[in-house]
Amino acid sequence: MSFTMKIKLAYLLFFLCLCTGCNTTQGKFKKVEKPNILILFLDDLDPNFGCYGNPLVTTPNIDKLASEGMLFTKAYAAATVCSPSHTTLFTGCYASTIGAPNHRSNYINKLPEGYHILTQLMRNAGYFDVNFKSNGNRMYNKLYGATAKTDLNFDRGKPENNLESGKEVFNHLQIIDPTNIATYFKGGEWGKKEKNQPFFAYANIETGKKHGFIPGRAWAKENNIDIDSTQINIPPYYAGTDEVRSVLTASMDAVSHVDFEVGKFLKALENEGLDKNTLVILASDHGATLPRHKQQLWSTGLKIPMIIRWPNHIKSNSINKELASIIDIAPTCLAAAKAPIPETMEGLNLIDLSTKEREFLFATKDGMGGVFDVSRSVISKKHQFIYHYYPEIPFTANGYAKRTLSFKSMVKLQKEDKLSPLQDIYFASNKTDAIELYNLEKDIDQVHNLAKNSAYQNLVDRYKNVLVKWQKQTGDTIVDARKLLGVTKIPIGTMVDDVLGVK
């Protein structure tokens, strides 16, 4: 080989090394460093932390997380209850798009062709995937540490790690001791992680749910941070009864308790030297376990906290005022992992500031506790539009709503005709209005339904068209239950199985 040819070959090899990122001194390919990813998914919580403007709660850990990253002021759930919301998290799609919007249902055995579950995609990207579960009994799991709950509406399978979840979708389950955070990110399953392999970890924390209210109140008192119930501001859609005030106070003390549990994971990351290269995403699946919140499409049921921290990638103390959704979490994780995002995913990459601003978000409400219902919502920065396909079905049609999401004192007042018109809406025997439209900037408590005002008819029609267009694009077909059942009004308590013809 001539000297000239050798020179050309040397240059060629040099440029190949530049293109492929190989290490010429060691003769090995240099791996592109990927961040660890930790999702802290909080069940049943409003954006009710100090960093979101609540001065009564004690949330130093979550507030610090927000100060070190990006806080989203317009983040929403894509569904009103646990399983369809968790389904949107792990697929990056609306639950209706994949045909799985009904709560804890198994009407589809697997995802439609072309759709993917996040855990598998992260494994494909080289990640060690791990779910967390606290030791101890079931109630202990719900109140401290993490529950291992995934709660997907497809291929649910036999309940494995959590009675509310069904089939496990993580390859690894880390059993943690909430009294010893040294068990969080080392020992146990972590021994199976390859050296330098990035992890994709998920912790579902249920401390703020209804079963955590009373223990949360007790915990707050033990730590001298309990809230004075006289300081609670009762929203206009609630009556000012002793029961209402007591429950709202306990719910906020439970929020402080949640912060304590979140702090354990953040401190454990720091102790293991993992915090600097870990993308942390904190969010809730929907609103609080309170009437007019959980299970409902009002903003109280959909607006959630969302905070993202990624050192050296996301500027600290950032405030994001764009529309964000739970469906965005999956593509955001994949983007951070430098993994391809399936075209079927409907969410956006939240850490890409060049991402086109979206004009609308959508949310679904379907059957819960097996009881049939269908409503949809369109959300913009300024307005929320809600369409109830079966207004004859009351908001409290299912047993869980009657039992857990109702104030007994307000039910009594409703029977005595002593509630205000706004307070009566939730407890009435049917939905007062089939169509609702609210100005989210001027009417935070959603008191004034603009759809009743003829002056807003053009705006109502616009949102109707937006909804119909989205439904056609995503295949969200609303079943004609009245025709199928041969009735003019759907009877209260009609089961989803009866409408769908499932035996």
For residue 501, the model assigns a pLDDT of 80
Residue 366 has pLDDT above 70, yes or no: yes
Q: How confident is the model at residue 353 (pLDDT cuts 50, 70, 90)?
A: low
CB contact burial 354-365 (16+ within 10 A = b; e otherwise): eeeeeebbbbbb
What angle separates helix 242-271 from helix 60-67, to the nearest 10 degrees? Answer: 60
For residue 31, the model assigns a pLDDT of 53
Q: How far apart are CA 285 and CA 41, in angstroms?
A: 7
Q: How far apart are CA 365 and CA 376, in angstroms?
A: 6
Residue 265 has pLDDT above 80, yes or no: yes
For residue 227, the model assigns a pLDDT of 98
What's the half-sphere exposure (Cβ side, CA atoms, 13 Å) at 447? 10
Q: How far apart are CA 200 and CA 113, in angstroms?
A: 24
User: 3-state DSSP call for residue 453?
Assistant: coil
Instruction: Mention every residue, 6+ apart, whose C-beta is less than 8 A from residue 363.
Output: 76, 77, 78, 79, 80, 297, 302, 376, 377, 379
Q: How confident is the model at residue 440 (pLDDT cuts 50, 70, 90)?
A: very high
What is the chain's mean pLDDT, rounded?
92
Q: How far apart are CA 81 and CA 66, in angstroms?
A: 25
For residue 156, the model assigns a pLDDT of 85
Q: Which of 166, 165, 184, 188 lies closest to 36 in space, CA to CA?
A: 184
Q: Which of 81, 202, 209 lies closest to 143 in space, CA to CA?
A: 209
CB 91 within 8 A of CB 98: yes
Strands 278-284 and 306-309: antiparallel
Q: How far apart are CA 165 and CA 488, in angstroms?
A: 36
Q: How confident is the model at residue 157 (pLDDT cuts 50, 70, 90)?
A: confident
What's the half-sphere exposure (Cβ side, CA atoms, 13 Å) at 206? 20
Residues 79-86 have a mean pLDDT of 97
Q: How far apart are CA 338 and CA 343, in angstroms?
A: 15
Scanning 79-159, the segments in alpha helix (DSSP H) are 82-91, 118-124, 138-143
For residue 468, the model assigns a pLDDT of 98
Q: How confident is the model at residue 503 (pLDDT cuts 50, 70, 90)?
A: low
Residues 68-91 have a mean pLDDT of 97
- Return the H-helix or E-strand segment holding 322: strand 318-325
For residue 381, the model assigns a pLDDT of 97
Distance of CA 102 to the CA centre of its chain: 16
What are 284's strand-pairing partners? Answer: 42
DSSP 52: G
Residues 66-92 have a mean pLDDT of 98
Q: Which of 454, 478, 252, 210 lies closest to 364 in space, CA to CA?
A: 478
Distance of CA 497 to the CA centre of its chain: 26
Residue 182 has pLDDT above 70, yes or no: yes
- CATH code of the domain occupying 36-352: 3.40.720.10
Residues 442-460 have a mean pLDDT of 98
Residues 220-248 have a mean pLDDT of 98
- Return the H-helix or E-strand segment holding 13: helix 3-20
Residue 147 has pLDDT above 70, yes or no: yes
Q: How confident is the model at residue 355 (pLDDT cuts 50, 70, 90)?
A: low
Domain residue limits, the chain: 36-352, 365-500
For residue 158, the model assigns a pLDDT of 84
For residue 30, the model assigns a pLDDT of 37
Residues 474-482 have a mean pLDDT of 96
Q: How confident is the model at residue 32 (pLDDT cuts 50, 70, 90)?
A: low
Residue 311 has pLDDT above 70, yes or no: yes
Q: How far apart are CA 476 and CA 242, in angstroms?
A: 43
User: 3-state DSSP call for residue 285?
Assistant: coil
Q: How confident is the model at residue 402 (pLDDT cuts 50, 70, 90)?
A: very high
Scanning 145-241, the segments in alpha helix (DSSP H) are 213-222
